[in-house]
């Protein structure tokens, strides 16, 4: 993985963590665990897509 993918991945991960912290801190009674897991999963998917695109795209293009 090149530096660009690592940088983007780190930024996305930081944004996800901040979003989770802010959501839990402000809406602690309204944020169920599965929503936090869904946000974490979404962040992982975004990082994977960015890393794949930056790496030349391992998946087949449509």
In a domain, 14, yes or no: yes
Evaluate whether 39 touches 16 at the Cβ level (below 8 Å): yes
Range(s) of the domain holding residue 50: 3-54
In a domain, 47, yes or no: yes
Q: What is the rounded distance in angstroms from the CA atom of residue 19 to the CA atom of residue 23?
A: 6
Residue 7, pLDDT score = 87
Q: What is the rounded distance in angstroms from the CA atom of residue 10 to the CA atom of residue 24?
A: 21
In a domain, 28, yes or no: yes
Name the stretches of the chain with pLDDT < 70: 1, 28-31, 54-62
In a domain, 39, yes or no: yes
In a domain, 9, yes or no: yes
Q: What is the rounded distance in angstroms from the CA atom of residue 58 to the CA atom of residue 13?
A: 22
What CA–CA distances, in Å, run from 21 to 1, 10, 42, 43, 46? 28, 16, 16, 14, 19
In the chain, the number of structural domains is: 1
Residue 35, pLDDT score = 78
């Amino acid at each position: 993985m090149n530096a660009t993918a690592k940088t983007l991945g780190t930024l996305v991960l930081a944004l996800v963590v901040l979003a989770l912290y802010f959501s839990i801190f402000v809406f602690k009674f309204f944020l169920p665990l599965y929503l936090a897991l869904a946000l974490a999963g979404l962040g992982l998917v975004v990082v994977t897509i960015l890393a794949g695109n930056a790496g030349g795209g391992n998946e087949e293009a449509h």
